[in-house]
Every structure is written in structure tokens, then in C-alpha cells.
Amino acid sequence: MPNIVIVGIQWGDEGKGKIVDLLAERADIIVRFQGGNNAGHTLVVDGKKIVLHLIPSGILHPGKLCIIGNGVVVDPEVLVEEIESLRGQGFFPDDAMLRVSSEAHLIMPYHKQLDQAREAAATVGKIGTTGRGIGPAYEDKASRVGIRMNDLTNTGLLKERIELALAEKNFLLTRYFNQSPADPGQVFDHLAALSEKIVRYIADTPALLSYRIARGASVMFEGAQGTLLDIDHGTFPYVTSSHTVAGCAATGAGIGPTAIDAVYGISKAYTTRVGEGPFPTEFFDETGKCLQEKGTEFGATTGRKRRCGWFDAVAAQRSVRVNSLTGVIITKLDVLSGLPTLRICTGYEIDGTLIDQFPSDIPTLERAVPRYIDLPGFTDDIRNARDYSDLPENARSYIEKLEELLAVPVTMISVGAERTQTIIRRHPLPA
């Protein structure tokens, strides 16, 4: 059975949660391979809205194994809250449905305190962080002072690692940010209480994945955020603190790259962005407000309004390249209904020169003036379309122009929030 990677190809919020939930019906294992609870997946199941931050969307399907990989940074408090919330809604009936990598790093209370203090102190160059402690947790991982899931099983070592981490963190908090220090004993007690609800899920997930793949299991790897927020390949420094691209699925889950058979990128039919940073096709008129309201463009994690703009094929082409996409999945096509003209950015003019490559530096990208092609819009309500032929001609022309520009087939099209509101042209996983 094939193993596939699902990534976002914009600045996140592309609707990955719904697509992963839909595809999970045919996968045996669903793995989250990077990021933390700064990302949220919003799903609508039988009219009920469900928001997940850490646990893969496959948890809504009985009999699936969901894995939080070693590339994820886990806030233990959020994880416990999410487990209890799912159970309260009638999901996740069996502990065997979830495993968390023993090598995954923890987001500690002092990570969140430091994250928020930094953003508050910044007078220029604000990143727009969610303040969830993601960046500081990844910093500790790289500095080799982080606390991992397997540390929860060793009380003495856990105390030592907390004290080691706080020797530096408290200096920064008190001397640089004028904040109160974190108390090592209180941090330990807080974590110890949470660990009682978590340790049952901790496992050597790379070994588990290797075993299951060797016996024919089909695995779907899901990332958080989007390609343009990748710490190397995104709009640095307005990025997240991990690798969001498909190549990270191997390292973030602990499998070899040859175990991956295909990569599918998810994109909205338009473009959105949350937080700071350049956004060449951004709307500053009523069209932006219209899409924001019609598309419910508010962050699942933070509630922040998403900035909206036309589809940016220049940015998307970069994502196609760095992810080696097999296919593209378009979401929220229904939100464009009613617009008389649909625009697609096919190039940038920078200092009088037209380019068709996405600039790698912020000053250049900030000077980019988008150049568009215009296509006729459509007015039909397409939320009941289930076959590609059900779409109006202008909607099909729009999709086909995206395929031409990206040089990758559009394999699925979402026309609404519900699972069933999806047109499947070619399913990534066999029945």
C-alpha cells in the first residue's frame, strides 16, 4: 500500500485538516511529523465543528493508528486537553489509537513565557508568533537542553533537565525581560501531574512505523503550517521554527525517504496569510473582507483574522518544486462563487523588471508588484457538486489554468466544509 505525504503549499491554513480526515478512511496510520499546537485543523463532521491542534485528524476514524512524531514539539497540557475533549465528544474510544514518539520534545511553561516576553519586547520586526512556546522549544532541542517524552519516565533525570534549562531561561526572563523567574519545583510538579495521563501513549514510533510498513500498512504523513512558513524555504524570518516541507516527513517521523511514494500539496483557491510578513497579492478592499467573511478566515488556534489575496502562482510554483508534488488539492473553491473576475498572479514586477521566480529575500519580495491574468468568474452555488462535470464552465477553466501554471494535476477539489463536499478526480490512496 502507498505511503503519502500531505503538505500545505501556501502560508498555512489551506484546509489540510479536512483533507487528511477524508483520506484517513483509506490509510492505516496517520502521522503528524512537525510543528506544535500553533497550528489548528478545523473539521466539520455531521455538522459538528471539531478543532485539533496536535492529534492527527485520523483520530475521528475508528481503527486507525495516529502518531505524533519525533519532529513535533508537544505541549503536554494541550495534549491532555485535546484527548479529554475528543472523548467528551464520543471520539477516541481506545488508547491504542494514539502513540507519541518517545523522542518528541516538550513545550514547557517557561517556553511560552519566554515566547510571549520576546514578542512583547520587540519594537520592530515582530514575527507575529502565536506565543505558544514553539520557537523556544525548538531552540532547546537544537541546543541539546530540551526535555523529551521519554524523560517523563525518569523522575530524577526530569528534575535535572528542568533545573539545567531554567539556569539559562531564568537569567533571560529576569535580567533581560524583567519577568518573574520560573520555579523548578513548580514546573516539575505541573509536568509530573500531566505525565500520569500521557505515559501510556509514549512509544518507539520509528520502530513501530518500520514494522507496520514492512507488513503492508498504508501511512499518511501530515504536516502543519505551509511551505512558505518553512524555516529554510519560507519567507524568513516570518516563518515557523521547523521544516514544513515534504522532505521533513522522513526525519520528523523516523522513516527513510524511500518509504514515501507520493506527495500531495494542499492550496486554497485563493491565498491567505496570518501574522506578519510580505504578501504580494493581498487585498486591501471589499473583496478581501468578502472572502474573509465568506471563507470564515479566522485562525483555528488564535482566532486572528487571516489576510486574504488572489491565488499566487509564483509562490505556489516554488512550493511545487521544493516538495516534488505528485498532485495538488484545491480547497474552498466555493468561496470564489459570486466574484465577476478571478485573478491569478503569474509574475512579479520588481524595480521595473518582470520575474517569474519567488524571491528568497524579504526586501525584494516587499517590492514585488503582482502581475495578473484575469479569468471570468462564476455565480453558481457549487457546494453540492460531487463530480468535476458538475462545476460550471468558468470554475473548470479556473482549475485547468491552475493545473497549467503549476504543471501538476489537481486531483481533488473541496467545495464546502463537510467531508462529503469534495470532488475526487483521482484519489491519492487506492480503495
Q: Catalytic site residues? A: 13, 41
| Burial class, 297, CB count within 10 angstroms (exposed 0-12 / middle 13-18 / buried 19+) | buried
**Residue type (1 letter), 235:** T
Q: Grid coordinates standing for 347?
A: 509574475
Q: Are 146 and 106 in contact (CB under 8 A)?
A: yes
Whole-angstrom Cα distance, residue 243 to residue 72? 10
List the one residue out of 269, 268, 273 whose CA is nearest residue 299. 273
β-sheet bridge partners, residue 222? 6, 32
Please provide the DSSP assignment of 407-429 as one string. TS-EEEEE-SSBTTSEEESS-SS
Whole-angstrom Cα distance, residue 376 to residue 285? 19
Q: Are 11 and 228 in contact (CB under 8 A)?
A: yes
* CB neighbours of residue 103 within 10 Å: 18
Whole-angstrom Cα distance, residue 166 to residue 287? 48
Our measurement of the distance from residue 86's CA atom to the centroid of its chain's CA atoms, rounded to an integer in Å, reads: 20
The radius of gyration of the chain's CA atoms, rounded to the nearest angstrom, is 22
List the one residue out of 292, 390, 287 whose CA is nearest residue 340. 287
Three-state SS at 43? strand
